């Protein structure tokens, strides 16, 4: 019971990070029907930007308030990562819009290889570890000498994720941009006819996806305290699994899928085998796609002749 509770807390934390990345996959897929393979690497780049921003604040400017530092790091990471993804969309995906279906996928795979190797060359191949940014924890209860704890880090991740999801929901549901986005998702030609700037809307989708990935990247860095150039691939695939599980194209589905994947992974590690935890996530991906291709909340894909 106590182990289960602890794993539940850990799983929700991990799941929040996956959920934030998964929104990026699901939004981009929804609007241009492409699996943005490089999204995991954009997440990794954002973690590096967050690391660099954190080092500037603490070692150069000597800011001692961790809360303030984290807040600034988050904003900086979101800004720069958005710029990165905006440029990627302009250079690598926009020229291929309307081309045959595999072209953007191959381009995205190339971008993914490019990004991880770029970071390797620019920042070095070694793991970058930071001193713990946030310490301390609440002990919820103790049973059989096993303390179930909720660390401040986890609490911050829950809080930040919840706040950002609320902002994001407002953006998509209530603003002009969100309306344009939903219109483009349904029919790009029609949307263009009624005066929606399709190119700009797609660009903004990539920017929002990157901003959410940057939040995930900052949280990932704060939670684990270490990041390396190869950290984009596996979280990327897991977040994609989350998006598929929730039903690709569905925004609440991505968040719930993320939480489920986080929980499955931590429970699997706790009760079965930690070596095979990636196998668990990958199997969920395969099983979902085979038996439930529309996911939990997705629309069924109707085959038209």
Partner 1 sequence: MAVEGQRLDLPRALREAGVTALIAFGLFLPLIGLQTVTDIRNDLILETRWLLLFAITAIVGAGRLAFSLGFEPWFRQRTLRPVAATPPAWRGLVAKWFVPFAIGFVIAYPPIVIALNGFGGSVKWIDNFGIQILIYVMLGWGLNIVVGLAGLLDLGYVAFYAVGAYSYALLAKSFGFSFWILLPMAGTLASFWGILLGFPVLRLRGDYLAIVTLAFGEIIRIVIINWVDLTSGYAGISGIPRPTFFGIPFNANDDGFAAVFGLEFSPLYRVIFLYYLILALALLTAFVTVRLRRLPVGRAWEALREDEIACRSLGINTTNTKLTAFAMGAMFAGFAGSFFAARQGFISPESFTFLESATILSIVVLGGMGSQIGVAIAAIVMIGGTEIMRELDFLKQIFGPTFDPTQYRMLLFGFAMVLIMIWRPRGLIATRTPSVFLKERKSISVDLVKEGHG
Chain residues in the site for partner 1 (CB under 8 A): 34-35, 45, 48-49, 51-53, 55-56, 59-60, 80, 83-84, 87, 91-92, 95-96, 99-107, 109-115, 117-124, 126, 128-131, 233, 237, 240, 244, 275-276, 278-279, 282-283, 285-286, 289-290, 293, 303, 305
CB of 253 to partner 1, least distance (A): 16
Residue 298, phi then psi, degrees to nearest 5: -85, 165
Query: How many Cβ atoms are within 10 Å of 68's Cβ, its own excluded?
Result: 11
CB of 170 to partner 1, least distance (A): 27
CB closer to partner 1 out of 129 and 135: 129
CB closer to partner 1 out of 58 and 151: 58
CA 239 to CA 43: how far, in whole Å?
11
CB closer to partner 1 out of 75 and 237: 237
CB of 169 to partner 1, least distance (A): 27
CB closer to partner 1 out of 106 and 163: 106
CA 205 to CA 181: how far, in whole Å?
8
CB of 163 to partner 1, least distance (A): 25
Burial 176-203 (b: 16+ CB within 10 A, else e): ebbebbebbbeebeebeeeebebeebbb
Record the tokens describing residue 255, joined without a space.
């968040």
- Please name the helix (run of DSSP H) or strand (run of DSSP E) that holds residue 264, with its range, or none: helix 251-271
Residue 11, phi then psi, degrees to nearest 5: -65, -40
CB of 100 to partner 1, least distance (A): 5
């Amino acid at each position: 019971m106590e182990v289960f509770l602890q794993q539940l807390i850990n799983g929700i934390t991990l799941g929040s990070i996956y959920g934030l990345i998964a929104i990026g996959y699901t939004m981009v897929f929804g609007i241009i029907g492409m699996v943005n393979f490089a999204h995991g690497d954009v997440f990794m780049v954002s973690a590096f930007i967050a690391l660099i921003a954190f080092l500037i604040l603490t070692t150069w400017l000597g800011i001692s308030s961790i809360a303030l530092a984290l807040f600034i790091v988050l904003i900086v990471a979101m800004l720069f990562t958005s710029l990165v993804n905006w440029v990627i969309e302009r250079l690598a995906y926009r020229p291929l819009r309307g081309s045959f279906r595999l072209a953007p996928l191959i381009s995205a795979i190339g971008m993914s290889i490019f990004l991880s190797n770029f970071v390797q060359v620019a920042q070095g191949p070694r793991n970058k570890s930071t001193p713990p940014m946030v310490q301390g924890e609440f002990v919820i209860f103790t049973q059989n000498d096993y303390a179930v704890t909720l660390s401040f880090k986890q609490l911050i991740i829950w809080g930040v994720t919840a706040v950002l999801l609320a902002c994001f929901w407002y953006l998509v549901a209530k603003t002009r941009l969100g309306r344009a986005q939903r219109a483009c998702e349904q029919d790009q030609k029609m949307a263009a006819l009624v005066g929606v700037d399709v190119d700009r809307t797609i660009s903004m989708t990539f920017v929002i996806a990157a901003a959410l990935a940057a939040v995930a990247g900052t949280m990932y860095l704060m939670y684990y305290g270490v990041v390396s150039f190869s950290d984009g691939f596996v979280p990327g695939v897991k977040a994609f699994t989350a998006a598929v599980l929730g039903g690709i194209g569905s925004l609440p589905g991505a968040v719930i899928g993320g939480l489920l994947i986080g929980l499955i992974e931590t429970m699997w590690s706790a009760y079965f085998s930690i070596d095979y935890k990636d196998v668990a996530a990958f199997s969920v991906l395969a099983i979902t796609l085979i038996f439930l291709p529309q996911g939990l909340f997705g629309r069924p894909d109707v085959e038209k002749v």
